Amino acid sequence: MSDSEKTNVITIAETDNYMAWKSEEPDGEDIYHLELNNVTLHFFIEEWQEFLDLMQDLIKKNA
């Protein structure tokens, strides 16, 4: 596998039980991942942005 075919992984944030990370795929697509114990959710950029918007609304309403 050449360097141009490797997936670059970046940890965004993590706790003892949860992790958010981004993979930069060889085709140029960024995919965001949430690991929540034994469940992993995968988001394309548009879905990730919508998820972040949802979380921001949730935080505002529970502050």
Q: What is the mean pLDDT of each run of 10 residues along the chain (63 residues)?
A: 78 97 95 96 98 96 88
Domains of the chain: total: 1
pLDDT for 4 equals 62
Q: Give me the residue label for tokens 């949860």.
A: 18
Range of the domain at 46: 3-61
Query: Which amino acid is located at 39 in the chain?
Result: V
pLDDT for 17 equals 95
CA–CA distance, 57 with 51 (Å, rounded to integer) = 10
pLDDT for 31 equals 98
Angstrom CA distances, 10 to 15, 19, 24, 27, 46, stand at: 15, 11, 8, 16, 18
